[in-house]
Amino acid sequence: GLFPRTGIMSAAAPTEAEVEELNKRIRELESVNVRLVERLRLERGTSERVILNMLGEGGGSSAANSPRSSLGETLGADAEIPEDVQSDWKALSVIVLGATGDLAKKKTFPALLALSTAGLLQTKTRIVGYGRSQWSQEQFVEMLEKALRPCPEKADFIARCTYQSGKYDSVEDMEQLTVLLKTTEANACPSSPEFGVCANRLYYFAIPPFAYAGAARAIHHGGLSRTGWDRMGVEK
pLDDT band per the 50, 70, 90 thresholds, residue 70: very low
Answer whether residue 68 shows pLDDT above 50: no
Between 192 and 78, name the one with better pLDDT: 192
Supply the pTM of this predicted model: 0.69
Q: Is the pLDDT higher at 154 or at 37?
A: 154
The CA distance from 57 to 74, in Å, is 17
Q: Which of 199, 216, 176, 211 is nearest to 101 (CA)?
A: 211
pLDDT of residue 196: 61
Length reported for the chain: 236
**pLDDT above 50 for 69:** no
What confidence category does residue 6 fall into, taking pLDDT thresholds of 50, 70 and 90? very low
* Closest-CA residue to 99 (of 135, 46, 58, 63): 135
E-only strand ranges, the chain: 2-3, 8-9, 90-97, 125-131, 161-165, 198-205, 230-234
pLDDT at 144 over 90: yes
Give me the helix-helix angle, 109-117 and 16-42, nearest 10°.
140
If one compares 65 and 206, the residue with the highest pLDDT of the two is 206
Q: Considering the chain, what is the average pLDDT of its residues? A: 77
Mean pLDDT of 137-151: 95
Average pLDDT of 224-229? 89
Angstrom distance (rounded) from CA 22 to CA 5: 10
Q: Is 119 a residue whose pLDDT tops 70?
A: yes
- Least confident span in 74-83, 139-148, 165-174, 176-185: 74-83
The residue among 31, 21, 27 whose CA lies nearest residue 3 is 21
Residues 6+ apart with CB under 8 A from 79: 49, 52, 53, 55, 56, 71, 72
Query: In this predicted structure, which of 5-9, 170-174, 202-206, 216-220 has the lowest mean pLDDT?
Result: 5-9
Query: Does the pLDDT at position 146 exceed 80?
Result: yes
Residues 6+ apart with CB under 8 A from 231: 54, 201, 202, 203
Please give the pLDDT value at position 30: 58
CA–centroid distance for 8 within its chain: 40
- Determine phi and psi for 134, rounding to 5 degrees: -80, 70
